[in-house]
Amino acid sequence: MHLIVLENHVTTLRGGQELNLLEICTALSQRGHRITLLYLKDGDLLERYQSICDRVIKISEYGFDWRRFTSVLKFLPSLLQLWRIPVSSDSIVFCNDYHFSVFGSLLSRCRNLPLVCYLQLPPLYLNRQRRFGVRQVDRFIAVSHHTKQDWIDFGVSPDRIEVVHNGIDIHKFKPASDFQAVRQQWGIAPTTQLISYIGRIDREKGLETLIHAIARLSSQFDVKAFIAGKPLNHHANHQESEAVGQQYQRSLEQLAAELGVSDRIEFVGHLADPVALYQASDANVLPSIWNEPCSRGLFESLACGVPKIASRIGGSPEILSHEFESMLFTPGDVEDLTRCLTQIMHWRTTNPTLEKRCRQHIINHFSNEKMMNEIEQILLHTQPPAPSPQRFSSPDSSISLNSMQ
């Protein structure tokens, strides 16, 4: 199989979506499949892609704004590249984001290739152009049942969507061999309970809730919170702003000062490799206030044997199931988050087998191997279907090439 992968920014800075794709491509390459990467922006993952891909091709744009002449001009080189990308009889186009589906659909139809779209987000910011691209997709892979339902509600036929939960490299993400030594690397005292957050510093992540909970806990426990990540705020039309993200981080620092817990909250910046911080933590928190489709951090934390406390939202309840349901809290509810954290304080002493149970939950249900077996089979059995008016059942299904604007 030859996979032609469409990616935006090949970087660790933006979040789990980019890392998921890299792991999928790496695993498929190791299984003997050939990978061609198309991407828009350089980043720190580029060298790793170059080591596993047959070809790495930079694209100027995946879409255009018909109202701006310069945008159309910038898209023209991409159109020319459609015919220069090497393909074979077993090639498949794989979009890592449905926002790339316009270019993906053009490549697919011009070269007569199947088109698969990886759904790691709900349907947001879909203009007519992107709706046209989504309509051309032959097969979708959603990272959670919640995400699948979002797209069914949007109008995609259920039989076009397969669910494959994220997996994680259990050999990389594992408990520390020397817990206290890892703690010393971070300057954490043996008696301190370390609560961590690892992800984007983004308003939709609900970090105010975590800071308020730390303020409440500080009156009862010797607790400290490490917040790791790059300030990067999402806003209208799927755009991102570092400036807005930095402003948000400053507001969080101000909140910590107002609550008198500045000495207990530390922003440690972006971590290209977060394993050591997971290993040093007593709990990891995902306080999102938006519908997380299937956060990579859920798997990373549990694989390291560290309890994950997460908002009861999006796809998270599908992962934190059975005994881990008690680690879910109501989004934005400081009291509920405080309750969840309180009940697992000092678990290393009171409930020492929890580490093993967290990790075993991932090994049993969410390993990389399980994820890749399922994705590989879907790709191998994907063929471009005959045109059908039932492929997109929303009221907007009448979109045609003439209405791509």
Tell me: do 202 and 334 sit in the same domain.
Answer: yes
pLDDT at residue number 387: 52
Tell me: do 185 and 318 sit in the same domain.
Answer: yes
Tell me: do 356 and 377 sit in the same domain.
Answer: no
Tell me: do 256 and 376 sit in the same domain.
Answer: no
Strands 265-269 and 193-198: unpaired
269 Cβ neighbours under 8 A, 6+ residues apart: 228, 229, 230
Q: SS3 for 1?
A: coil
Q: Select from 211, 207, 192, 202 the least CA-distant residue to 235.
A: 202
- In a domain, residue 172? The reply is no
- In a domain, residue 262? The reply is yes
Tell me: do 156 and 201 sit in the same domain.
Answer: no
pLDDT at residue number 23: 95
Helical spans, DSSP H, in 188-345: 207-217, 242-258, 275-280, 296-303, 316-319, 334-344
Domains: count for the chain: 2
Tell me: do 185 and 306 sit in the same domain.
Answer: yes
Asked if 1 and 24 touch (Cβ cutoff 8 Å), the reply is: no
Tell me: do 358 and 373 sit in the same domain.
Answer: no
Tell me: do 209 and 339 sit in the same domain.
Answer: yes
- In a domain, residue 174? The reply is no
Q: SS3 for 286?
A: strand
- In a domain, residue 361? The reply is yes
Tell me: do 42 and 161 sit in the same domain.
Answer: yes
Residue numbers of the domain that contains 78:
2-167+369-403
Tell me: do 36 and 151 sit in the same domain.
Answer: yes
Tell me: do 357 and 220 sit in the same domain.
Answer: yes
Q: Which CATH number characterizes residue 46's domain?
A: 3.40.50.2000
Tell me: do 183 and 306 sit in the same domain.
Answer: yes
pTM beyond 0.85: the answer is yes
Mean pLDDT by 10 residues, the chain (405 residues): 96 84 96 97 95 96 80 84 92 94 93 95 86 93 97 95 96 96 96 96 95 97 96 61 87 98 96 96 97 94 98 97 96 98 95 97 96 97 62 41 39
- In a domain, residue 162? The reply is yes
